Amino acid sequence: MKPPHSYSIADLAKHISAKIIGNDKIIITHVAPIQRAKTGDLTFLMGNAYRRYLSDTKASAVILSQADADACAVTALVVKNPEYAFARIAHLFNTAKKPIIGIHPTAVIAKTAHIDSSASIGAHCVIGENVAIGANTILHAGVIISDDVKIGSDCQLYSNITLYHQVTLGNRVILHSGVVIGSDGFGLAHNEGVWEKIPQLGSVSIADDVEIGANTCVDRGALENTMIETGVKIDNLVQIAHNVVIGEHSVIAGCTAIAGSTTIGRHCMIGGSTNIGGHLTICDGTIFTGGAMVTKSIKEPGIYSSGTGLFPNKVWRNVVAKLRRSVITDH
């Protein structure tokens, strides 16, 4: 069987502006990890952890940096950033089929909605009043779009996503299954033992080139919008509370929770299971390692951590006991 995609090494090198060292007539049919690649595969090398596989990889070619080129026994594509170059090439081998343009007969669409003729609306989608959906945007089955939502061009919304009223998406936004955008923020006022709900009158604004992972929730603002700026990438199972602002090109790993009215700067990297308190400001270029507990604003960029790495339970109990004694002694 002929592979669904095949490319000459020369064409791939041109695609990523790489220098070829070796046979420029090779045909590549698949991409694969360096330790499991075989003939016909293209792989890449990034970082010391996988360098030991370079000398005996079975791949037909490897994307790598100039520093590793001499150690490569097969054809090499030399670039400055091998991981980025590999990501660009991997798109060429994506076998996911695009849905057919048009509206599925089971979709329920308000008469006031405007859907570009090049868009694809899947089975059992529900689209509310005054919704606008741009060119080449794809809604997979079961997407729910409430009233007055604006969706830009070239977006992809996977199955079972819900966008509440007045949410705005820019262009090239990707939302994975189970995402909920614009649900009410956790706003409550306390009076004599009773909690009164504070109406959440803002919405959510998501800029261009944002990707949000499966089952992530982004709450609408209380008075102003929750804001996700250009190029932000958010992993699965993340909670973004009301009035949070996430700056351009920041990345947030899975199971992170960000409390209300916190501002995350640009180009930040937030590790998995990080918990960030409310009403904080995190400056541009901040990195939180996984499991960090952030309780105060960060004014200087850098790498921040909290908690401890894993210990056997008995060792951990001893460490905690010593820490407590140290704190009591200091006070």
pLDDT of residue 1: 42
**Tally of CB atoms within 10 A around 298:** 21
d(CA 318, CA 87): 45
Active-site hit among 30, 140, 176, 242:
242
**pTM of the prediction?**
0.92
190 has catalytic annotation: no
Q: For the chain, which ranges sit under pLDDT 50?
A: 1-2
Q: Which residue from 23, 128, 109 is spatially nearest to 74, judged by alpha carbons?
A: 23
pLDDT of residue 320: 87
CB 171 within 8 A of CB 151: no
pLDDT of residue 4: 66
Q: What Rg, from alpha-carbon coordinates, does the chain have?
A: 24
**Interhelix angle for 9-16 vs 82-90, to 10°?**
120
pLDDT of residue 331: 55
Q: Which residue from 304, 303, 307 is spatially nearest to 320, judged by alpha carbons?
A: 307
Task: At 257, give phi and psi (nearest 5°).
Answer: -130, 130
Q: Which residue from 259, 129, 283, 150 is spatially nearest to 208, judged by alpha carbons?
A: 150
d(CA 207, CA 248): 9
Q: Which residue from 78, 88, 75 is spatially nearest to 37, judged by alpha carbons?
A: 75
pLDDT of residue 307: 78
Antiparallel, parallel or unpaired: β 7-8 and 27-28: antiparallel
